[in-house]
Structure 1
Amino acid sequence: MADLEESIQVARQAIEATPEDYPDRAILLDNLGIYLSDRYSRTEDIADLEESIQVARQAIKATPEDHLDRARRLNNLGIRLSDRYSRTGDIADFEESIQVARQAIEATPEDHLDRARWLNNLGIHLSNRYLRTGAMTDLEESIQLVRQAIEATPEDYPDRAIRLSSLGIYLSDRYSRTEDIADLEESI
């Protein structure tokens, strides 16, 4: 934990020493956001999560629209917003997490390996919204997204198994609603 504390301190110093228009400022902000999010995961201090969201927004703002890291930063913001929703129950955070997850996908080339991760993450967000609201459109889209994520994931990539498992869960959820035996069979 001491190393993480020092990382946060050094990242703050680097940002303070950097002009607003410095080309790599977004990297420094992104790193601080990651460190704060890590500390939140360990301590559950909501102030760290709040600051990590604020810093993530600044990092995105400092990242050019066409920069590949923009998608990763949007994805990170989406995860943090989802974490805050889980903690506070603020539906606006949940809805924004879905919105920025969509932006991350849009900002990523079709053939980029991270696109599969972003597709899967949006599928998770939509599946969670389905569980909260019962909206079949969310479940249908989550199935479609995880299928795309699986197609874009190499056979030997470790995350492929997790994505296949997610598809099985979503198909089982759909079977529970529609009683379409094909969903149950595919989920197995």
Structure 2
Amino acid sequence: FFFSAGKLDYNLDRARKIVTVNVSNFPRDQDYYIRLCHKWFTCEDVGAFAVIKGKESFKSVSLKYSQLLPCLCIEVIQFWFKAHVEVPDNNCLDSCLDLLNNVFLLSLCTDTQVLWDNIVYNPSTQTLAWEPACPVLVMVNLCRFTKSNEHCEDIEKSFKNSPEKVKYSRVDTHPRLCMKFTTKRGSWIKCPFAHGEFP
């Protein structure tokens, strides 16, 4: 990808969980600071900055990540310019350009299904909770699968529309009890007690 201060491209090694970032054709008197971050309202750092010295005409840095999320981004910073570039991956494109702050985002975009995995159950308080790893507009509710397992019937008064942590108290740990996540892209159902994941 070309931006005003040079050329940026990256390679994703999913097996080793490494992103290799290449920067070239940039001014020789500029240093670049590159890191991975999570895009919320600001870019929250995931790791330390790697430095690309301006006197080198081509430079490559490798950055490790723990989980590939839709909000995982590459951040490139100069003292006068902050660059992020958004590129599609897995048919997911969610462009972001903040002209006011000269921010351009490079998102290592993945399938949103990984967002629904962060379900936690506390047996001492009988609390079932889910917290998004990335900002997402989602409606969360509880549902119970019918005996034929064909349909998960919504449980009344369990609907919660929140960008933050969702909690349900005094939860029955029945194997057919599930959490349903609904966005404009569709619905996903996770059944945390179906396979004995929680006591």
Q: Could you say which TM-score interval applies, normalised by the shorter chain?
A: under 0.3
**TM-score, length-scaled by structure 1:** 0.25
Decide which structure has the larger Cα Rg and report it.
Answer: 2
> Greater relative contact order (Cα 8 A, min sep 6): structure 1 or 2?
2
**Which structure has greater strand proportion?**
2
**Which structure has greater helix proportion?**
1
